[in-house]
Chain A
């Protein structure tokens, strides 16, 4: 029954990770998923001081759009910010940006790239410069008509997805059981039908033989079992999960996974400590001793 915990990376790109996690319960897999979504702190614009806004969008809409811009921070700066956040010093560790754009003779689109790093409340300016930037330089914020001007100061703070989705470091995190496909005794005339019916292209028929070509792609829809009975048997491993994580590029994938696991661990420890404290201080514990 108990299987050793193991993790295997299947695919890793800049903002995409697919891995196989085995030897855990669905509850643990879900805890990891939910931690990635809502417990990993990131940096996002939280306060906006608008000095001039002639644009067609209201101040609050602009502030909302600015908040949603994902900000990239490198690993070293992230460690400083995360530590401060966990100590409850989020309002002291801030990063500010300025934006000042004016349309003179033709309409001008204001992009996230127009946000200029101004200062960080920790560390010197030169060491922070270029370490905190919007993930993309070409996110439209607003378009200005000739004669209009937009000037503002934006202050970024740390936060988690639990508080507001703008702090969520990932777009999607999903997991599924690892599929296990068994080929039964198919009749030759059923083969092609079974291959065509699979929406994920999991099966292939070569020289009168049915083969499983990419088992991991199977979404466990069981269309093949239903439409051509007796050809394949779809099963899954209840202790192994295929995770797909798509990040927004705010922090590196390695840091993201590490922080999620670290947060989960810390909360587990805090829970044990609290429980022990409650047991020790409760009147019941005296009875236990005697």
Chain B
């Protein structure tokens, strides 16, 4: 749905790094490099990014349709 605020396992803050990660990966950069740049070191935090599917934009489309 939306990126979790913290890593499920260790509790490190990850929410604030998502937008940069998503933007750079979309531009074709290697996720490994982006995560290294963002200093996401542990694999518990890294999987939070790698396995996340940002669905909120898709859900918002239906919200807009409902209003109309």
Tell me the interface secondary structure of chain A in the complex.
loop
State how many angstroms separate the Cβ of A228 from the closest Cβ of chain B: 28
Interface residues of B, count at CB 8 A: 22
Q: Does A70 contact B (CB under 8 A)?
A: yes
Q: Which residues of A contact B2 (CB under 8 A)?
A: 57, 140, 142-143
Which chain A positions have C-beta within 8 A of B1? 57
Q: Which of A136, A138, A139 has the most CB of B within 10 A?
A: A139
Query: Is there contact, CB below 8 Å, between A248 and B13?
Result: yes
- Is the CB–CB distance between B60 and A107 below 8 Å? yes
CB <8 Å contact, A147 and B6? no
Kindly count the residue-residue contacts between A and B in the assembled complex, taking CB atoms under 8 Å apart.
64
Residue pair B7, A146 in contact (C-beta under 8 Å): no
CA–CA, A228 to B63, complex, Å?
63
Closest to A37 in B: B11
Q: Decide if B29 is an interface residue (CB 8 Å cutoff).
A: no
The reply on B37 being an interface residue by CB < 8 A is: no
> By the criterion CB–CB under 8 Å, are A140 and B18 in contact?
yes
Residues B12 and A56 in contact, CB atoms below 8 Å apart? no
Find chain A residues with CB under 8 A from B6 CB.
68
Q: Is A69 part of the binding interface, using a Cβ–Cβ cutoff of 8 Å? A: yes
| Chain A residues with CB under 8 A of B5 | 65, 68-69, 139
Cβ-defined partner of A148 (8 Å) among B10, B12, B16, B63? B63
Closest beta carbon of chain B to A115's beta carbon, Å: 13
- Distance of A148 Cα from B63 Cα, bound (Å): 9
Q: Say how far A142's CB is from chain B's closest CB, in angstroms.
A: 7
A69 CA / B42 CA spacing, docked (Å): 20
The 6 closest A-B pairs by CB, nearest first: A171-B12, A145-B63, A136-B16, A68-B5, A139-B15, A145-B60
Contact surface of A with B, Cβ cutoff 8 Å: 56-57, 65, 68-70, 107, 112, 135-140, 142-148, 165, 168, 170-172, 246, 248-249
17 A–B pairs (Cβ distance < 8 Å), ordered by A: A56-B63, A68-B5, A69-B5, A107-B57, A112-B15, A136-B15, A138-B16, A138-B19, A139-B13, A139-B16, A140-B2, A140-B19, A142-B2, A142-B56, A145-B60, A171-B7, A248-B12
